[in-house]
Amino acid sequence: MPMSQEQLADYRDRIDWHCEARPDRATLEELVERHTRTIAFENIDRLTDKLLDLSLDAVVTKLVRGKRGGVCYEQAALFKAVLETVGFEVVGLMARVKWNVPEGHVNGRSHMALRVDLAEGPVIVDVGFCGQTLTGVLDLVSDVEQSTPHGPYRLVREREVWQQEALVLGKWRPIFIFDLQPQLPIDYEIVNWWSATNPKSQFRKMLVVSRSTPGRRTMLHNFDLTTHFIDGPSEHRRLGSAAEVCDIVEQLFDIRIPDRAKLASRLDEVSGLPEGS
């Protein structure tokens, strides 16, 4: 669904994008880079037991006007609307996450990515994959290393299934697998409800915040803050209190917390859980 001109103007201000809007690759690459460096991934609403509203008005109110981040469905829904308003042809996809998943374990389809059809051919964009979010644009071609602002990526195809991979410390690591079947809004509503209500959902057990800015990726898992630098060793810091976590969320990730007291209380509740349990 395209945005209103008022909504698009607010989005432009949010990501500081004031160039001419054209449905071409250069515009798409700039939008991806500006979106991912400005609008963080965060699951505050998930952690505090709030069901996400994926309607366009809701994601604009939260991510754009509310100075919040969001999970993949919110991020991709917003970005898809922006692209359609600019004039791009966009299709929503669904993927199975493989990043940090044990070999042989099969996840459900739970991640939203986008296919964009450019004049020169189809590409994949993905502005909402937490710490390993794609900050560039990938041509839909197999077995070709492609550069992005945060390192090389590639797509590998086996029949109708595609796998997105990132080159990390000299090794290609799988991020997710997907096919090109278009998804409807109801498909995302179902997995949105599952991840918000199922006790096994990791986003109900831990705070996850991430942001990819020039030269680095910064991630927060509950009380653990990690910065991965493109050209140097990573840095890790253990935060000392829920109040300090909230300060980091607001100051470093530039997120407006809707209820600090409630988030701090939930952090204290989950702090004894092993990460990823």
> Catalytic residue positions?
72, 111, 126
Q: Residue 200 is encoded by which pair of tokens?
A: 């096994």
Contact 24, 31 (CB under 8 A): no
| 69-to-11, 44, 62, 197, 208 alpha-carbon distances in Å | 13, 9, 8, 20, 11
Q: Helix or strand or coil: residue 12?
A: helix
Tell which residue, 218, 194, 222, has the closest CA to residue 208. 222
Helix residue ranges, H only, 87-241: 185-197
For the CA atoms of the chain, what is the radius of gyration? 18
Contact 149, 214 (CB under 8 A): yes
Q: Measured on CA atoms in the order 57, 60, 65, 69, is the torsion positive or negative?
A: positive
- What is the spatial distance between Cα 141 and Cα 143, in angstroms, rounded to a whole number? 7
Rounded to whole angstroms, the Cα distance separating 264 from 171 reads 38
Q: Distance between CA 175 and CA 166 in Å, rounded?
A: 7
Helix (H, G, I), strand (E, B) or coil at 139: strand
Give the H or E element holding residue 116: strand 109-118
The CA distance from 242 to 83, in Å, is 37
* CA dist., res. 201 & res. 170, Å (int): 31
